[in-house]
Amino acid sequence: MRASLQRSFAGALQSDRSDAPPVERCRLHFHLAVLHAIVLERVRYAPVGWTKKYEFSDADFRCGLSVLDTWIARTCGAKNGQSFPSNVDPSVLPWAAIQHLLVEVVYGGRIDNDFDKELLRSFVSHLFCERAYTRGFLLNKDESVPLAAPEGARKLTDFEAWVAQMDAKGSPAWLGLSAQAEKMLRALAGSNTLVHWLQTQNVEDTSGPTSAVGSTAKDPKDGEAKQSNALGELRQKVEQIWNALPQDNALREGHLPPQSRGQDADPMWRCFHREFLVVSGLLIRILGDLQALREVCEGTQRMSNALRLVSNKLQVDLPPLYWLSAYPISNKLSSLEWVRDFRRRAEQLVQMLSGSSSLSDRLSLWVGGLLFPEAFLSATRQAVAQRNTWPLEQLEPQVELLGERQQVADSGCCWILKGCVLEGAHAAENRLEVSDDLSQEMPPLRLRWVLRDEAENAKSKDKGKAQQGLSLWQIPVYLNSERAQLVTSQLFLAAQGAEAVCRQRGAAIIFWNC
């Protein structure tokens, strides 16, 4: 953070501009430099700092300076070369206008995620307010690792001297992140290194048996030996993947279990039927390709272009492209990891479709194991509306953490979501809390759909608990830890602490975790 601030002082921040009256101008410029440093440094921590690596630049900072100077001039009434007063009361500055322009135009214009926009708003509203001129003001919200604003600084050189004595390494807590965020960076770097290594290893041999067949080796025996070794390795990988694939006959043949047919009017059945069609179709295609590769290894079939693409990926332990494009999933999995995950999904799907009761009564499931969890959430909403003859648009989700001893009531009106991961917060005693933990496995979540009036009443009751420090946090739900796909933004959970701190920590629920 110190290096970013020093770049601002060496560039756009100039004494003839920042030290111009009124005196309050210089601190505003400094706070904008702090905001700019936070915005830039959090990009390093993507997808937790921001959900993606936005291309913020010094042009944003210069634009922000122009916004501040324009509103200072309007507030002071200094136009057409008129002189500025030496001081201006911070309470008369148009904070709402400044905050709006910084959030919606200067920096927010690049942001396309609503939760990232609210994250930016939390920083702007904290740094650009009347309290910023009070003694003991903290530039960050984490009181355990405070970053106090410089006291008594009036000139740009005063702020520059304060920046020079900052700790060069700094702390992620200054950026609003957990103090353990550096561990996350190292873990991501290790994961990316492993993926890149898998993609580049044995690049010269990625054509597999086809390269050996077309070899121009001087000794024919050498060419035959290379071809035999390549075919043997490919055959071994094919057999390993074949044995790890789902073994259910219904999936392999593409036939629905008899007891699950004839429920076209049930939204839940339609949801799982779609999942079955995708899983079954993908499995049949994979089995066909693997069988064809078997025959290539046995010498009874020639290698086609389509099979060559599959073979090239399998030889470097990566899933073929059509495996990854069948449904949303991380592209950092090895081929065997993908197959094992696919089998878990398929086994749950068969179990859900093989029961004797209605799918609307299946209360508990691994929600991350669904191919399209957002479609499942929509289906639960439709099922509740259909069962109770309620207007669909009047339904809102109600989610709560389940303790170990809590029982599930009202069969068919709620669903238990298992296997979720919580990042940036801690779940304890049926509520969320701010924590330095990077992630933890969540207790089961109970999902219900209630009428909007009932949901508003529940929120009013939670507001009554504010004296106890409890409130409702709006938590984003992402498909996986890459945070590229937002599943829903409508979940509110009981929590203790400030929601702004929760947002800055990057708190989110992850449905699928490898």
**CA 333, CA 318: separation in Å to the nearest integer?**
7
Q: How confident is the model at residue 257 (pLDDT cuts 50, 70, 90)?
A: low
**Lowest-confidence range among 83-92, 246-255, 445-454?**
246-255
- Residue 247 has a pLDDT of 86
- Residue 208 has a pLDDT of 47
Residue 420 has pLDDT above 70, yes or no: yes
Instruction: Please write the tens of the pLDDT for every residue from 303-335.
Output: 999 999 999 999 988 999 999 999 999 988 999
- Residue 28 has a pLDDT of 97
Phi then psi for residue 374, to 5 deg, are -65, -35
Q: How confident is the model at residue 438 (pLDDT cuts 50, 70, 90)?
A: confident
Name the DSSP class of 493.
E
Domains within the chain, CATH numbers bracketed: 2-177 (1.10.8.720), 178-359 (no CATH), 363-514 (3.10.490.20)
CB 12 within 8 A of CB 58: yes
- Collapsing DSSP to helix, strand or coil, 455 comes out as helix
Q: How confident is the model at residue 189 (pLDDT cuts 50, 70, 90)?
A: confident
Closest among 8, 15, 2 to 56, alpha carbons compared: 8
Higher-pLDDT residue of 252, 160: 160
Compute the chain's Rg from CA coordinates: 29
Residue 324 sits at the vertex; the CA angle it makes with 227 and 48, to the nearest 5 degrees, is 125
**Lowest-confidence range among 87-91, 161-165, 222-226, 360-364?**
222-226
- Residue 214 has a pLDDT of 40
In the chain, pLDDT over 90 holds for what percent of residues? Answer: 64
Alpha-carbon distance values, 256 to 122, 193, 260, 277, 283 (Å):
50, 42, 7, 9, 14
- Residue 55 has a pLDDT of 96
Strands, sheet with 426-428, edge to edge from the N-terminal-most edge strand: 426-428, 431-433, 486-496, 470-478, 508-510, 421-423, 439-441
Among all chains, which residue has been given the structure tokens 């079955």? 276
Phi then psi for residue 146, to 5 deg, are -75, 150
Instruction: Please write the tens of the pLDDT for every residue from 211-245.
Output: 444 444 455 555 556 556 778 889 999 999 999 99
Angle, helices 267-298 vs 335-353, to 10°: value is: 140
Is the bond preceding 22 in cis, omega lying within 30 degrees of 0? yes
Residue 176 sits at the vertex; the CA angle it makes with 175 and 177, to the nearest 5 degrees, is 95
Report residue 202 as tokens.
């044995």
- Residue 434 has a pLDDT of 87
Within 13 Å of residue 417, how many CA atoms lie on the same side as its CB? 28
Among all chains, which residue has been given the structure tokens 């076209």? 264
In the chain, pLDDT over 70 holds for what percent of residues? Answer: 86
Residue 236 sits at the vertex; the CA angle it makes with 212 and 207, to the nearest 5 degrees, is 30
User: Amino acid identity of 115?
Assistant: F
**CA 506, CA 50: separation in Å to the nearest integer?**
8
- Collapsing DSSP to helix, strand or coil, 141 comes out as coil
* Average pLDDT value for residue range 277-299: 95
Name the DSSP class of 46.
T
Residue 25 has pLDDT above 80, yes or no: yes
User: Across the strands, what pairs with 494?
Assistant: 472
**CA 481, CA 283: separation in Å to the nearest integer?**
26
- Residue 465 has a pLDDT of 53
Average pLDDT, the chain: 87
**CA 110, CA 484: separation in Å to the nearest integer?**
16
- Residue 211 has a pLDDT of 46
Higher-pLDDT residue of 373, 252: 373
Highest mean pLDDT among 80-84, 96-100, 472-476, 491-495: 96-100
Report residue 237 as tokens.
């990988």
